[in-house]
Structure 1
Amino acid sequence: MKKKIISKALCVALASVLMFGEAAPAMAATKSLDQGQAVVAEDTFSASIDGIEAGNSATVTDNHVGISAWGSGTSAKLYVNGVEFESRKTSYGYWDINTDFYGKAGVTYTFKLEAEGSDGSTVTKTFNRKFETPVFDKSTTRGWWNSEIDETGYSKYASLYVNTEFLSRVSAKYDYYVYRSTNPKTGFKKISSNTVYGGTNCYNYDYNAAYGKTYYYQIKVVAEKDDYIKTTKVIATSPVIKVSADNWKNIYVNAELDHKGVKLNIEDRGIYNQFDIYRSASKNGGYKKIKTITGDEFTDTTVKAGKIYYYKVIPKYYETRTGKLVSGNTTAAVGVKVTMGTPVPIAQITSSTSVKLTWDKVRGANVYEIWYMQTDISGNQYSKLGVTKGNSYTVKGLKNGHLYRFMLKAQNVSNGKVVCENQNDTGRVIMGYDDNIYSLRATYISTAISKDKKTLAIYTNLAWDKNYWASGYVITAYNRYTGKEENVAKISSGTKNTYRFKNPGTSTKGMKYTYVRVRPYKGSVVSDTPIEINVNCMPFASGVKVSRKTNSSAVISWKAVPGASGYSVYRTNKQSGETQCRGNVTATKYEDKDYSVKTDYEYYVVAQSSFEGAWGNSHYIYEGNAKYFAKYQHKLAAPKMGSAKNTAAGQVKVKWYAVAGAQRYWVYRSTSKNGKYTKIASVATTSYVDKKAAKGGTYYYKVAAAAVSGAGVKAQSAYSAVAGAKSSK
């Protein structure tokens, strides 16, 4: 029999210290039989489970269940589905377990707690906890195709996307499998598996779904087998989701008159990248194709006033992975009656007594009448000022302090008679002081950097429309060092409408100013309606040039911008309209690639600064300024001819070298070196065997590289050199 050195009473006292923080008096457990010697008694503990806490419900809505249990004995173990999860041993006769168990959604776990005493007694208690089961919300089950912008700047079909949400958020971990088939009832195969640590939905991007096909998807939430789950269990199954890997079924076309003709706007174009436009004078027939475009706008300028035109559009998508051009549904016919265009006159005050009117050429007009009216006189009527065939007219001799309205009549005059006309006015024009100025703009930006590169200055040339009756202008700027707006300058003339603003900065504090405000004033009264503009923008790099480097790359170069820490190179695909940042460099040149044939690209370069508060530029002053933009079209190189040899009876084998970007090669043949060549083959390889070379004949060959742009537009290179061979076998 084992003996304990510590008596049972002392164990009780020690346990009291552990549980309550102080020792209870221990009763003597032995009598003194010999001087100074106590009898050592045997100490035994019975097993008990005095309490278990494991949440308030049998269903767990959290991602874990917290378990707290206590009792007496020498040890306790917690089992989950028969697998030991947690254990405790003690020599004091009391045990406790505090732990968290993280389960999987939809799974019921059996927890078994077993306590053991030193006297051989055991006590067990068992309870179940089920983690909340996900329930699919059928109304949210859906799918669609996705597009992406590829490296060449064209939008392309990329993947199919399916998604289904739960009725409520699931906090516990869950796994789900995605299955796919081309049949809604059979043939489903697992294409992906995913693990989510709490969420609201299941989704999948299928990048292997071929364009032009229809697929069916089903999602299953599962509990994968692990230490506590013996077999993988299906917890919830979504409805079957049908998704077609094609474009929108229909596109929409709006047709309206503008000053140039009938303007067509294609909406919801999806990833269609070609549009065949058909026109007819009858809604029900007679349509002829007038144009194929790769953008989503087209203006038909060949229309005539007084007629009705009907338009239909057939959308097409060129799929680069298959090389196929797929047509979509033809749009419904839209009709437009061509009438005289509406003039849009713009009035600009050019002096205290004159206004210049400008307008765009109006469809169907060959002459313009200018009328005016002083609107601050009651009952006043329009009076005719003049006639012009141009698109501008200056009105002089106006009175200071009065209000005017100008009207432009666009007319079609034939044999001295007005056939038709349309008119529009400018709205009210104040020939006097008002407390506004208009069109504050940056006209030029430059920079200067110190030799030690610790100070930077950004100079912004500002301009605004003159307020001829103002006493002048007050210029203020927001100081980012102080967080306050401060006075910068006062211009004492209403006709001086420019100012060169210097924004200084240091490498430690950054740029001093953020924006500038300009207000007119008259006398001592300053307007409280300012107009503002940023003055912390770095300039675009000027002198942008693009030159071909290899058959697959080009080099973009530009002039250095003082104070620039680096440059961002941007390229716009002029066919698709997409702009992409091609790279960031510290040098003043960049080698680019990934071009699509027969596509116009345009480059510009944004200077960046390491000075805090200095931005890359976004001012519109650069639009259309050739100094800051460079156009480029990367053309296919002509193949380098290898050889032409008579290799067998009636055969000539032609070989050439590959061209970067070429998708096919067109082979041409002639019986005379300088004669007429006929296309005899289109191949994807770099050789071709002509099996129609009659014995005794001499044949000449040349080859052109061919490719199709991202929008499906065909391109051909120049011809290779000519190679000839005599068929003597």
Structure 2
Amino acid sequence: PSAPVITVTPTQYNSLAISWDAIGGATGYAIYRSTSSSGSYALVTKVTSGTSYVNSSLATGTTYYYKVLAYRTEGAVITNSLYSAVKYAKVIPATPTATAISTGYNSVRISWPKVSGASGYTIYRCATEAGTYASLITTTSNSYTNTSLATGSTWYYKVAAYRLVGTTKVYGLQSEAISTMPVPATPAPTAVSTGYNSIKISWPAVAGASAYEVYSVGDKDTYLARVTTPYFTQSDLTPGTSYSYKVVAYKTMASSDVYGIYSNIVTASPIPSTPSISVLLNTYNSLNIKWNEIQGADKYEISRCDTSTGNFTKAGESVTTNFIDNNLTTGATYYYKVKAVIEPDVYGNESAILSSKVLPAAPVVTVTPTSYNSLSLSWDSADGVTGYRIYRSTSSKGTYVLVTTIPDGSITSYINSGLASGTTYYYKLIAYRTDGTVTTLSPYSAVKSAKVSPAIPDGVSAQSASYNSINITWNKVLGASGYTVYRCSALTGTYATLATVTTNSYTNIGLITGSTYYYKVAAYRLVGTTKVYGAYSQIVSDCPKPAAPIPTAASAGYKSVYINWPAVLGATGYEVYLTDQQTQTDKLLTRTSSLNYTHSSLITNKQYSYKVRAYTTLGDNTVFGSDSSIITATPIPSTPQISVDLNTINSIKISWEPIGGAEGYEVLRSATIDGTYEIISTISDAEYVDSGLTLQNSYYYKVRAYITDEPDNIYSNYSAPLGKVMLPKAPSPSAASYNYNSIKLTWDAVDGATGYLIYRSTSASGTYSFVYTITDGNTSYINPGLTTGTAYYYKVKAYTTTPNGEVYSDYSTYASSRPYTTAPIITTSVPIYNNIRIDWNAVEGASGYQVYRATTLDGTYGLIADIKTLNYINTGLAMEKTYYYKVRAYRTLGTTKVGGVYSDIEINKTRQPIKPNIIIDFKNTYVNYFSPDKSYDSPDYVGFYLYNNGQLPLTIYSKNALLYNYFDEYYNSSLVLHYDKDYDNIQAGPSEDGFVNFYTQEYPSWYDMDSIIYFDFMYDGIMYRGYVSYNHGCGYWKK
């Protein structure tokens, strides 16, 4: 085997360690030792496992030499390697493992574990790591503090152990160099809560420290503060949360700050502060525990015990700063402590323990004059009190005499009468409670006193009565003979007597508008001739001014608000202000004499605040009344006013007027009026048809308008809910007279209707009887056999046939009419310069006709004729004037004429008369034309040929036709128009011509071509007298 390579090192004061590298194939190793390198080596030991060996029990200070060989055993054969090279070492103490730490701003501490067998240690120091280390001190301790060092300067140290062998120090090796510097000591902080959101970190002052830095410790350290005091408080923390801190001290040197080591981490949680409590008497069986308010506390827990050192149990909780502990035992003593709590579970420390004995509470007494010879005592009611004892004295510190005992604890007042008017009396009370034979007394009340005098008037008020007067009122004082009212122009000025009255009110008139006046009242009682006055009332004041308006404000659309108010008596006008409640500033919007104002151009969905004040103008002076209360309103889209109507057999139409500014509408539906409404549509139109509905089901709707905004829409209020039962739509009938004994109903077809039922009544709210069923799809019905002029009312129901039977609509609204004769139709209307003729057709069932006329189309039509004919000539009219006519037929029932429907209005205008335009061919005038020789026995004829060249017909009459000779001698008294028979008159139409023949009633004595025929004719309504002669021509004149 190869020769091993060995090392020898000291291990401690009596041993050396030998180690070598492993030899391949070796069975073991033989270790040999000598005390000199060339001396005799003795076998120390053989090692069959491992590659090291500690040779102990050696002499300290002696050097030992070693060599090792490897051997291999194969059967009985042992094969040795060559010896290793000789290695040696001196036996010395072990090397210390030293550490150095700062122990203050000017000292460091070097320490090491004790070295086995060492007699002592020498410490070496150097200012640099590689410099020459000087012996600093030799010590038998295993530590040393090097003081008086410069803060922040680094020092290097080594330590060597030694063992005394006789008088010789045998040194071990020096330790590795270690270094440190003097820095301020590490603070030792503590952290405690100083309130619900703060923690105080404090520490003893560190010697030599200039200041301290405080850090919050978490996932990452956070610098909080640099302080020169040995404490720091962090605020704005979360209650109940754990916070961690560390602190480091530093010393400021010439060129830098020298920091010490960070402190240990300390933690604390902010909790509510500890209350300071008091325990007060309350009632006979309760105590009132009070404490100061703890910032941040949500509530307080109160604990109670019957001894100061016993087990305290929870008595209750309170969110205020007191707690009434009830149902206690009178005379027993109870102990309390309180702690603050932040929800849900952050608890403060408990207060100090305080106690009280349960006694009736001392009464709180008041003494007031009630009349000239009595005083009234009153006190607060004390629960559980058996009674009260009242004591009185004539001086506050004098002897108090028992006045009375009130054995009823429910009584809380007493009138002490028979007293001397003007004298002051002093009182104190105690409450007591009796349980069996034990009476427990409360403490005395505080002493209260009063002088016997009329009571102070209460309820005193001063109110502006008008722009120049104030009304002062008060409650009557028992026993008072009268009252004196005092006034001053300043609160603290001298009050002068204003009036002495026996009533309990007084109106001070003739005041200056807007000036403030101050008043007080005193009651007095006459004792003989002396007025004994009570105390003054409280001072009240006011100034004459208009009253404050009482306005209301409401949204008037998406950009406006409407403000209105009742009139204020005496006000000249009003000012309306926009109020900013955050900045408490007002902006005048308008000054107006009206009682309302609309504020426009606003921002939708923003709340606006307003106030109103009235003012009165007196000459150049304007006096303002008080501001009204502030009112608010928010402009939002107006609320839709919906109508809900049946639309088709399976749909309902919801409609409303468009809302100003609205960008859309939400339509919601429910099965019941008070049920849950769900959105069924969002639309931009102002109507929606909800289809696919089920017959006989109820549907309710409401609608709201909206304006699109970010992040949310701005909505109006919901409309009032309206609903319908899904039925066929109710028809909308109309009724009209059909003729004198029938009425015709018509309606629009109803979607899905199978038929219609018709009902009739003789009054709008009367009983409607079934009349007729329509099943053929018609949408009209004529109701015959009715009485002319009688009112009839109709309702119609639609129905649809389903597999489950008929489903009926609601009744329609009623339609009514009366049977009247129908309207005449005016067939012709002919103006005849100052006459107008009207013709009309006959009306079925008519008894007669009434003609009405007016001078304007919409004027009053007056009856001008009641006739039975079918025409009427209205004569005597003004020329060139328009007239308006209407005609109605009537039917006579008994003695009553029932008028029918008026005709359409006929308009016509009179004109200037048209002159005749006729030509008479007088050469064709003849006498005895048919029997000129007088040989016939037939009557004689005369005649002429006429041309009517006018535009109107011409009528020639028999009446007044005469035959004369040339000398106007009368021939015949009566000519008669004749052609093939006798006529009263004949007519020649426009542009017509022909013979006009007369025959004589008797033969004239003579006649010839000089004879003259006279006749009457009418043209354009005017009667003319005409003449014609063969020899003497023709002519006419107006009669």
TM-score of Structure 1 vs Structure 2, range by shorter chain: 0.3 to 0.5
Q: Higher relative CO (CA 8 A, sep ≥ 6), structure 1 or 2? A: 1
